């Protein structure tokens, strides 16, 4: 896929994930729109939405990622209570699944 085509598709998926996370977290930042495959070809980030949680020294970060762990949107920093409430709502209202592997975050 051409770089700019992949970028446009990825940007739409990132925007969708960001809007989704804003609904529950109140704020969200865009993350990665592209992923590099093993053949050095650019691909848009995946369509699926899974959530992940990262514990930081000052609180928790909630991430929306694709099935490969590529972060599309993230929101931080939350207390454990806030994080649990947000995750609970996302799971119950959207049957979201947690990503269990290592996530790729923007540097």
Please, what is the average pLDDT of the chain?
A: 94
Per-residue pLDDT tens over the stretch 24-76: 999 999 999 998 777 778 899 999 999 999 999 999 999 999 999 999 999 98
Q: What's the confidence (pLDDT) of residue 38?
A: 75
Extract the tokens encoding 93: 């209202």
- Write down the domain spans for the chain: 3-94
User: Hey, how many other C-beta atoms are within 10 angstroms of the C-beta on 24?
Assistant: 20
Distances (CA, A) of 77 to 7, 39, 43, 45, 100: 28, 36, 30, 24, 20
Q: What's the confidence (pLDDT) of residue 103?
A: 95
């Amino acid at each position: 896929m051409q770089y700019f085509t992949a970028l446009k598709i990825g940007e739409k998926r990132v925007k969708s994930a960001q809007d989704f996370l804003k609904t529950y977290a109140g704020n969200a930042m865009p993350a990665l729109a592209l992923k590099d495959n093993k053949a050095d070809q650019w691909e848009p980030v995946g369509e699926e939405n899974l959530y992940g949680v990262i514990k930081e020294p000052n609180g928790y970060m909630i991430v929306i990622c694709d099935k490969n762990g590529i972060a599309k949107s993230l929101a931080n920093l939350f207390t454990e209570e806030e994080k649990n409430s947000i995750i609970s709502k996302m799971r119950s209202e959207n049957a979201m699944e947690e990503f269990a592997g290592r996530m790729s975050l923007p540097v």
